[in-house]
Structure 1
Amino acid sequence: MTPVVPLRAGLRVAIMADETGWHTRQLLRALRERGCVGRCIDLAQCRIATPHAWHGLVLPGFGESLPDAVLVRGIAGGTFEQVTKRLGVLHALREFGVPVYNDARAIERSVDKSMTSLLLHAAGVPTPPTWATESAAAAQQLVTRESAAGRSLVLKPLFGSQGQGLQRVGWVDGAHVPLPPLDEGFGGLAYLQRFVEAPTHDYRVLVVGGTALAAMRRVSAHWVHNVARGARCEPQSLQEGIGPELARLAEAAARALDMDYAGVDLLPTRDGATVIEVNGVAAWQGLQRVTPFNIAQALVRDLLDRKCAGRLQRRQA
């Protein structure tokens, strides 16, 4: 790994997080090691007040100025209006020239699973056949058709995370499982992905600055392999066996969504691997346990040395 080199004049970095804990402590420590000042801010506490300053934003702890960079660690859920405002703050920061890592556009692409699937498909990245429809009748016809062919589908909340709310429908364990009511936890939308028969594990690959840096196998007896659902983390090489293919596909997925960093989930198949999801605000505590280098340092290094290169040059001139 490249040695950490302190800056002569540190930047002020806002860490956007709806809660503080292990991840934010890791990032704050990595920023301090580079001579930067990090400050955790909840986007819910940020305001728009046009008389306040030329930019019209109020960010706690920054007075009338803006941060030199923003690292997005978490965005709290809320009403459509609240989330729109929070993303709007990130959009505005980018428009005002502040490097945002990942920016609002990338987060929107990854949070909306249907857009993720669409962009992966358009970029030629292997991903399971996917459908998204507001018509319950059309969704039920699809489930019936897939079931008749002996296939099952995974019904997912469009904005879900950590494996919550996933259901299998269609032909499941020798019986037909119909589509449940879509107004119960799915917002009136059917986002359906063809179920991929896989062994007892999937893969998480961390892509930073366009390069796959680390990976792990998530091993579980359940077909949902999220660590939050009890999966066990095991190291996975990116240089041996399936590793190079995982790296190639994960990098292609992050590129398709134009992401600074991404946690890419893949399933093994008979033909190699397929991308299931791309996470734009990826957690890495489980991955860190099986990774020999410090992930927070890698994220901060990419933010400062690539994303903020111009600002660093001006500061150190």
Structure 2
Amino acid sequence: MKKIGVVGIPGGWSTLRLLDALESRTGYRLCIDMAEVRLDLETGKAFYQGTDLTSLDGLIVKKIAPSYTPDALDRMEILRFLRSGGLPVFSDPDSMFRLIDRLSGTAVLRRGGIPMPPTEITEDVDEAAAVVARFGRAVFKPLYSSKARGMTVIEDGPEAHEEIADYQAAGNRVMYIQKMVSHAGGHLDLGVSFLGGEYLATYARQGSGNSWDTTTRTGGRYVPHTPSTEIIDLAHKAQSLFPGMAFTCVDVVETPSGAAIYEVSAFGGFRGLLDACGIDAAAVYADYVLENIR
């Protein structure tokens, strides 16, 4: 019997689905809250509620924390340490580490030649105001966030400088500023999903029309979508820049001037694949991990 632990959020929907899938296949169930993990650097072991994690056959990281913060990087360091000692971890903590920090992930994508909406970074409010003036309308994105949490749209105008200063004062010292791009063919963002580096399926997030973003948090919904070969190839190239990503989703936007990538997900989402495509991602992910551990 293989013993696979799931790093996730106790009671979280996707964490529970993955736990159920693994238990049905192995008879073993362990949800690991990283807030309660103790790492012993002397022995190289880590413990969670009395369980030595290095005694397991592997770990799947479904969610490192309820929300992204720099603290999540410290948790990821523990997983990097365990993997370097021989414990199989899915996905590779080195790649997940770079994807948790939006700026780090963006830098890898741009250096890899991946098209993205125009993006600029600064700590200076005056420089940020100049960027907004050039863009006309910009999305300010926290370096650590998901599902558009904490994102703000600022338009060029007499209030822009004050809005930018307020945004920075709210805890966003480094400002990640991305030009607002128009969508081609409807208010859709695509989630192009991959398992073990191979294309799995695509779902779309369709905006409600009541918000600038398409997330389900603001009323968007998941709908089926069949992308072009070009989009699949672009998303495949983007995720391949992060080796060892066992399960991930690439956020793609179709603009009048062509497809662009927003980001590659550190963990990937189960809900969109289930609701839009009828794919039980937890089940296929569990099968993939068990096969690769064997």
Of 40, 45, 49 in structure 1, the residue corresponding to residue 40 of structure 2 is 49
The residue that corresponds to 2:79 in the other structure is: 90
Whether 1:107 aligns to 2:96 is: yes
Tell me the distance in 2 between the aligned counterparts of 1:117 and 1:50: 32
Of 211, 230, 246 in structure 2, the residue corresponding to residue 245 of structure 1 is 230
Q: CA deviation at 1:136?
A: 2.5
Write out aligned runs for 1:4-153 (5 A). 10-35=1-26, 37-50=28-41, 54-63=43-52, 65-76=54-65, 77=67, 80=70, 82-144=71-133, 146-147=134-135, 151-153=136-138
Whether 1:177 aligns to 2:177 is: no
The residue that corresponds to 1:4 in the other structure is: none
Q: Is the 8 A contact 1:158 1:186 kept in 2?
A: no
Structure 2 residue runs without a partner (length 5+):
none
Tell me the distance in 2 between the aligned counterparts of 1:137 and 1:298: 49
Q: TM-score, normalised by structure 1?
A: 0.82
Whether 1:294 aligns to 2:280 is: yes
The residue that corresponds to 1:5 in the other structure is: none
Q: Give deviations 1:184-241, integer Å, cap 9, x for gaps.
A: 334311101111111311111211111221211211113201122211111112xxxx
Instruction: Kindly tell me the number of residue pairs found equivalent between the two proteins.
Output: 286
Report which of the two has the higher share of helix.
2
Q: Give deviations 1:109-168, integer Å, cap 9, x for gaps.
A: 111111221111111121112112222332223223x15xxx322111110111112222
Whether 1:157 aligns to 2:142 is: yes
Tell me the distance in 2 between the aligned counterparts of 1:256 and 1:117: 11
Structure 1 residue runs without a partner (length 5+):
1-9, 313-317
Whether 1:202 aligns to 2:189 is: yes
Higher gyration radius (CA): 1
Q: CA deviation at 1:268?
A: 0.8
**Judging changes above 3 Å, is the alpha-carbon distance between structure 1 residues 61 and 293 closer, same or farther for their aligned structure 2 residues?**
farther
| AA matched with 1:122 | R
The residue that corresponds to 1:234 in the other structure is: 223
| AA matched with 1:162 | K
**Judging changes above 3 Å, is the alpha-carbon distance between structure 1 residues 30 and 18 closer, same or farther for their aligned structure 2 residues?**
closer
Identity value in percent: 26
Q: Is the 8 A contact 1:163 1:229 kept in 2?
A: no
Whether 1:269 aligns to 2:269 is: no
Of 203, 220, 227 in structure 2, the residue corresponding to residue 216 of structure 1 is 203
Q: What SS does the aligned partner of 1:87 have?
A: helix
Tell me the distance in 1 between the aligned counterparts of 2:131 and 2:222: 35
RMSD: 2.3
Q: CA deviation at 1:89?
A: 1.4
